[in-house]
Structure 1
Amino acid sequence: MEHKQHKLKTEMATKLRDALEQVSDERSFVEFLAHLATDWFTEAEIEATTPSSPYSSGALGWENGSIGSFLEASCAWANASTKGLKYYTSSENPWRRAADILMAGKIYE
């Protein structure tokens, strides 16, 4: 079971990262949102049957399980990264920047 979950986690992460990297306009942003939603719902299904420790991220890496905590983390990361970070250069494309902000909401604490 653990190998199956690891494979799923890798596949989901790859699809989500690929969708993020393709964001350049409204259509690609909406496609990214669809992948992000699928990632969240897939994790919710996994967590319903095999919950992760309450002290770690979820099975697919979600740190923020509620819409409130997700939006709060997205906002905090957006404010912290306005001028870029050590491993992040802020995109000049507003669609990509918005996608980066939402992606960060998944993992930022």
Structure 2
Amino acid sequence: MELHERLGAVRDSASFLEFARALARDHATSSDWENTTPGAFLEGAIAWAQDSDFGLSQGLASSNPWQQFAVFLYCGKLYE
């Protein structure tokens, strides 16, 4: 399953941890990360959260905080 597919499947703590493990594997094997240091990763994730109202302006449901946080981590990978 692709990383973005795992992201869409996050519904609870177990699926969140499954996504987080996949994100860690992606970091170890992929060269397409924009934010490669911990600081840049967090800055990207925080910028996304502020710009999108933690995903609410992008259609993420506030009733699924596990998915909101998974997207937060995913955006740390690429959001500038």
Shared fold, TM over 0.5: yes
Moved segments of 4+, more than 4 Å: none
Paired residue type of 2:34:
E
RMSD: 1.2
What is the alpha-carbon distance in structure 2 between the residues aligned to residue 77 and residue 39 of structure 1? 20
Aligned-pair identity in percent equals 42
Do residues 65 (structure 1) and 36 (structure 2) align? yes
Instruction: Identify the structure with bigger relative contact order (alpha carbons < 8 Å, sequence gap 6+).
Output: 2
8 Å CA contact 1:19–1:32 kept in 2: the answer is yes
Shift of 1:89: 1.3
Do residues 96 (structure 1) and 67 (structure 2) align? yes
Q: Secondary structure of 2:20's match?
A: helix
Matched residue count:
77
Paired residue type of 1:103:
Y
Paired residue type of 2:6:
A
Larger Rg: 1
Gaps of 5+ in 2: none
Paired residue type of 1:29:
F
Aligned 1:37-76 pairs, distance under 5 A: 37-43=24-30, 59=31, 61-76=32-47
Gaps of 5+ in 1: 1-13, 44-58
| Pick aligned residue for 2:13 from 18, 26, 33 | 26
Q: TM-score, normalised by structure 2?
A: 0.88
Q: TM-score, normalised by structure 1?
A: 0.66
8 Å CA contact 1:29–1:95 kept in 2: the answer is yes
